[in-house]
Structure 1
Amino acid sequence: MSPSRVRVGAGGSMTADRPRWEALCVCLTASFMTLLDVSIVNVALPSIQHGLGAAPADLSWVVSGYALTFGLVLVPAGRFGDQRGRKNAFVLGIALFTLASAFCGLAQSPGWLVASRLVQGAAAGWVTPQVFGLIQQMFEGARRARAFGMLGSVVGIATAVGPVAGGLLIEAFGTGSGWRWVFYVNLPIGIAATALAPGILPSKTTDERPVHTGFDRAGVLLLGAGVVCVMLPFVQEQQWRGRGKWLLIPLGALVLAAFWRWEGRQEQRGRTPALDLRLFRLRSFSLGALLATVYFAGFTTVFFIYSLFLQSGLRYSALQAGLAVVPFAVGSGFAAAAGGRLVVRYGRRLVVHGLLGVVLGLVGALVAVRLVPGHGAPWATALPLLLAGLGSGLTIAPNTALTLTEVPVELAGAAAGVLQTGQRIGTAAGIAAVGAVFFAHVANHHDWAGALRLGFATVVFFVLAALVVALADLRASRRTAAR
C-alpha cells in the first residue's frame, strides 16, 4: 500500500493525507475518552462513597472491575476486528461505552454502579485494539510512528486532565452528586464519535480480509479464564485477606499454557485461532510486549501512590492532587509527540534513553521528598516528575511503534490486544506490589513521605527491569544488522 493512499472500500480510495488524519482524530478522541475514565474516577471515589454510601469493597470494584473487564476482552476484540472489520467493531464499542457511562451516572446503588463499570470497562477494551489496528491499517513507516506518537500524547493529556477535571466537577456539583458528572462528561464525546465514525473511518476491502474459518470459542474461553485468574488476585489484593488468593496465579498460568497448546493445534488444523502464535516469532513484538508489561508495572503506580501521599498524607483536595501530577503528564504528552518522529531515526535507542530519563526523574523525586517531606513536596518534585514524564513519553509511544512494526496488518488488532493485555496485567501486578510496600510502611511507621520514597524505589526497580529488556532488544538488533 502506498504511503500516500489508503483503501477505504471496494469502490474507491482515500487520497492524500487529510481523510486519514481526520479518521485518526476520531480514533484519538475515543482513546482519550476511555483513558480519561481511568484517571478521572480515582479522584471521585470519596464523592461516590458519600453519595451512594458505597463500602470500600464497592469502591475497589469501581476501579478494579473496569481494569479487569478491560483486560479480559482485548485479544478477542482485536481478533474480531481483524476478521469482521475494525470500523464496525469500533462503532459498536464506542456506542456501548457511551451507554454504559450514562448508566454509571444514573446509578442508584453501589451494585448498579459496579455492574455498569464492568460493562464500561469491557467496551473500552473492545475499542482499544481497533484504534491500534486502524493506525496500522491507515499508515506506514514514519507516518505510522507519528500517529502512534500522537496516541501517546493523548495518554499524557488524558492523564493530566482526568484528575483536574474530576476535581473541578466535584467542586462544581458538590460531593453528593459531583461524581455523576464524572461519567456524564463522556456522553457528548461518545455521541459525537459514534456519529462521525461510520463516515470517516476506513473499511477493509475484500482482498484485505483474512480467510474466516470460524471463531475460536474454546480459545477465547481459555484465554479469558487465564487472564482473570492472573489479574484477579492483584486487583483484589487489598480486599481479599489471606494468601490463598495467590494460588490463582499458577492456576492461571496452567490455563494459559493449555490455551497456548490449543492455539497451536488450531493452527495445525488450518482453523482460525483466537490468537495467531506467529506473532511471538517476531522478536520485536515479543520483546516489545514484555517491555511494555514490565514498564507499566512501574509507570502507572506513580500516580497511585503519589495521589495517596498528597490526599491521605498531606490532606490535599482532589483538585490539588490532580494539579500536582500535571508536570509528569505534560512532559509525557510532549515527549510522546516528539518520540513518534524520532523513533524512525533512532529506533530502540530512543526507548533506552527514555527509560534512563524515567529512572533519573524518579530518583530525583525520591531525593526531593526526602529533603522536603511536607507540604512543599509537590513543588520540590515538579521538575523531577517533569523529567520522568519526558522519559515516559519517549518510552511508551516509540515502544508501541517498534513492537508493531513487523506485525502484518491483518493481525494488527490481535497484536494490539496482546500488547494491551500485557500492560493491564503489568499495571495490576505493579499496583499490588508497590501498594503493598507503600501501605506496609504507613502501617508500621505512620510515615507517608517515607512510604512514598519506598514506593518510588520499587517503581525504579520495575523501570530498570524494562531497561534490561530494551538493551537486550537493542543488542539483538545490532547483531542482526551486522550479519
Structure 2
Amino acid sequence: MLSAESTPSTTAGAGDRRRWFALAVVMTAAFMDLVDVTIVNIAIPSIQRDTGASFSQIQWITAGYALAFAAGLITGGRLGDIHGRKRVFLLGVAGFTLASALCGFAANPEMLVAARILQGAMAALMVPQVLAIVHATFPAHERGKVIGLFGAIIGLATVSGPLLGALLTEGNLFGLEWRPIFLINLPVCVAALVLGRRFIAESKALRALRLDLAGVALVTLGLLMLLYPLTRGRELGWPMWGYLSMAGAVVVFAALVGYEKRKAARGGSPLIELSLFRVKSFAAGIAVQTVYGVGLGIFFLVWTLYMQVGLGWSALRAGLTGVPLSLAASTMAWMSAQELVPRFGRKVLQAGALVMAAGVLLYIAEADRYGQDIAPWQMALPLVVMGVGMGLIVAPLTEAVLSEVPREHSGSASGLINTVQQMGSALGLGLVSVVFFGEIGDRLTPQQVGPAFVHAFQHALGWVAAVLVAVFLLLFALPKRSAQHLEGADCPERATDVKAAGERVLAS
C-alpha cells in the first residue's frame, strides 16, 4: 500500500483508484457524523414518551454528544498526527459503532445519555482524520476536486439528518420507534471498518511527536467551561455561574497559549501548533469559520422552531421543505471548489456570503408576506438562494484554511477547524435566547404562539444577515488566491516546492 507521505507525483499514479476508494470511506464517515448530530432532535418526543426521560436527561442526550465531540476534536486530530490517521480513524469508527449499538439498545435514559457521550467522544477521534487523510493523501492540485466533494457531502447531510430522523421515527420500523436512528449506523460503520482497513493508506507526522497531556487537560477544560454554559444556558435561565465559567474559559485559554509557546520553544510536541496561526490563510480562515458557524447555529435552530412550533408542521414536512437548500448547497459546493475558486479565488467566497445574505433577506420578506399561511413551495426560492451562497462558502473555505498547512500538522489543523465550527455553532445556539426567544412573550395563548414565532423568526434572520455581512468583511483577510491555485493546477511539482518552503518558514 502506498504511504500517504509520498510525493504527490508518486501518489497520483498507481495508487489512484485506491485513494478514491479511501476517500469514499472517510466521506461516508463524515456524512454519518453530520447526520447523527441532527437526527436525534427529530426523535426527541418519541424518546421522551418511550423512556420517560426527564427534561434534563433529554437535554443531555443532545448536549452530551456535542460537548464530548467539541472537547475531544483537537486531541483527536493530534492523536492522528502521532499514531497514524488511519489507525485513529478506524479506532474512532469502531468506538462509534459500539456507542451507536448502546444507544439503540439503551434500557433507560441514563444509559442513553452515557452512550451519547461515548458516541461524541468517538466521533472526536474519527472526524478530524477525514480532512487530515485528504490533506495527506491528495496532492495540492487535486484537493479542489476533493474538497468540493466534501462540501457537497456537508450540504446533503445538513437536511438529510432531520429528514431521515422523521422517516425512521414516524415509520416505527419493527415497532422500535426511535431506536433505528442509532441502529442504522451499524451496517454503515461495519462497512467503513472493512473498506477502511483495505483502502486507506497510513500517514502520520514525519518527525516523532508525543501527546501533550497538559495541553489536552487545558484545552478540554477550557472548551467545557465555554461550551457547557452556551449549550445549556437558555434551558437553565442563564445563571451567574455560567457567565463566570465562560470568563474563566478565557483565562484557561490564555494559560494554554502561554504553555504551548513555552513547550514549542523547548523543542517539545505541543498539542496545538501555534505556528499555524502565522500562516495567513489558516489564521484568517479560522476566524471566518468561527463567525460563519455563529450564523449557521442561529439559523438552523430558529428555522426548525419556526416550522414545527410556529407553523405547526410535522417533522417530515419540515425535513422535506429543506431539500431545495440541501440540493443547491451540494451542487454549488462541487462547482465552486472545482471551477470557480481556481479562476476567481477569494471573490467566490465573498460572493457566497452576499448571496446567502440576500437569500436570508428574501426569506424575511416571504415570511412577512404570507405569515402563518406560508407553504413549503413559497420557501423554495429563498432556500435555493441561501443554498447557493452556502455552497460558494463551505467547500472553498475549508480548502483555504488547509491550503498552506504542512502535512505533518494536518491532523492538528483539522481538529482546530472542526473545533471552531463547534464553538461558533454553540455561540449561535446561545444567542438564540436573545435574538429569538427575547422577541417572544412569556405567557402566550395558543392563538398567539404562531404569530409570535413568525415575528421572532424574522427578527433572528436579520441577525443572521448581519453575521453574513461580517463574514464578507472578514474574508478580505484571506489571500486573494491560495498557493495551490497559483501554482498547483498547472505544475504540481511547483506546488510541492511552495509547501516545502512554507514548512521551512514554520520551522525557523
Picking from 322, 326, 337, the partner of 1:325 is 322
Residue identity opposite 1:326 in structure 2: V
* Contact 1:226/1:252, CA 8 A, preserved across alignment: yes
Partner of 2:290: 293
Matches within 5 A, 1:156-235: 156-173=155-172, 177-204=176-203, 209-235=205-231
Distance 1:422 1:24 in 2: 24
Picking from 309, 312, 323, the partner of 2:309 is 312
Q: Is residue 448 from structure 1 mapped to residue 440 from structure 2 by the alignment?
A: no
Picking from 216, 226, 233, the partner of 1:237 is 233
Per-residue CA deviations over 1:245-294 (Å, capped at 9, x if unaligned) read: 11111100100110000001111111111111110111100110110110
* Contact 2:69/2:124, CA 8 A, preserved across alignment: yes
* Structure 1 residues 56 and 175: alpha-carbon distance in aligned structure 2, compared to 1, 3 A threshold: farther
* Contact 1:359/1:463, CA 8 A, preserved across alignment: yes
Q: Which runs of 5+ in 2 are unaligned?
A: 1-5, 443-447, 487-508
* Contact 2:100/2:115, CA 8 A, preserved across alignment: yes
What is the RMSD of the two structures over their aligned residues, measured on CA atoms?
A: 2.0
Picking from 281, 286, 292, the partner of 1:284 is 281
After TM superposition, give the deviation of residue 378 of structure 1 in Å. 2.7
* Contact 2:151/2:334, CA 8 A, preserved across alignment: yes
Partner of 2:490: none
* Structure 1 residues 477 and 403: alpha-carbon distance in aligned structure 2, compared to 1, 3 A threshold: closer
Distance 1:98 1:301 in 2: 30
Matches within 5 A, 1:55-74: 55-74=54-73
After TM superposition, give the deviation of residue 388 of structure 1 in Å. 0.5
Matches within 5 A, 1:248-397: 248-341=245-338, 342-397=340-395
Distance 1:210 1:248 in 2: 38
Q: Report how many aligned residue pairs link the two structures.
A: 470
After TM superposition, give the deviation of residue 477 of structure 1 in Å. 8.5
* Contact 1:50/1:176, CA 8 A, preserved across alignment: no
* Contact 1:83/1:209, CA 8 A, preserved across alignment: yes
After TM superposition, give the deviation of residue 304 of structure 1 in Å. 1.4
> Structure 2-normalised TM-score?
0.89
Distance 1:249 1:378 in 2: 39
Partner of 2:478: 473
> Structure 1-normalised TM-score?
0.93
Partner of 2:501: none
Partner of 1:461: 466
Distance 1:345 1:98 in 2: 42
Residue identity opposite 1:61 in structure 2: W
After TM superposition, give the deviation of residue 412 of structure 1 in Å. 0.4
Q: Which moved more, 1:156-165 or 1:448-457?
A: 156-165
Structure 1 segments, 4+ long, off by >4 Å, are 474-478
Picking from 425, 428, 434, the partner of 1:427 is 425
Q: Which moved more, 1:50-59 or 1:170-179?
A: 170-179
Partner of 2:133: 134
Residue identity opposite 1:202 in structure 2: A
Residue identity opposite 1:307 in structure 2: T
* Contact 2:297/2:427, CA 8 A, preserved across alignment: no
Distance 2:330 2:315 in 1: 22
Q: Is residue 144 from structure 1 mapped to residue 149 from structure 2 by the alignment?
A: no
Distance 1:146 1:307 in 2: 32
Distance 1:175 1:456 in 2: 40
Per-residue CA deviations over 1:29-78 (Å, capped at 9, x if unaligned) read: 11111111012111111111111112222222111211111111111111
* Contact 1:68/1:228, CA 8 A, preserved across alignment: yes
Per-residue CA deviations over 1:213-242 (Å, capped at 9, x if unaligned) read: 532100110111111111111101122222
* Structure 1 residues 115 and 80: alpha-carbon distance in aligned structure 2, compared to 1, 3 A threshold: same
* Structure 1 residues 41 and 375: alpha-carbon distance in aligned structure 2, compared to 1, 3 A threshold: farther
Partner of 1:11: none
* Structure 1 residues 37 and 313: alpha-carbon distance in aligned structure 2, compared to 1, 3 A threshold: same
Distance 1:178 1:394 in 2: 38
Q: Percent identity?
A: 37
Per-residue CA deviations over 1:185-215 (Å, capped at 9, x if unaligned) read: 10110011011111110113xxx63322532
* Structure 1 residues 40 and 213: alpha-carbon distance in aligned structure 2, compared to 1, 3 A threshold: closer
SS in 2 for 1:147: helix
* Contact 2:159/2:319, CA 8 A, preserved across alignment: yes
Q: Which moved more, 1:82-91 or 1:140-149?
A: 140-149
SS in 2 for 1:178: coil
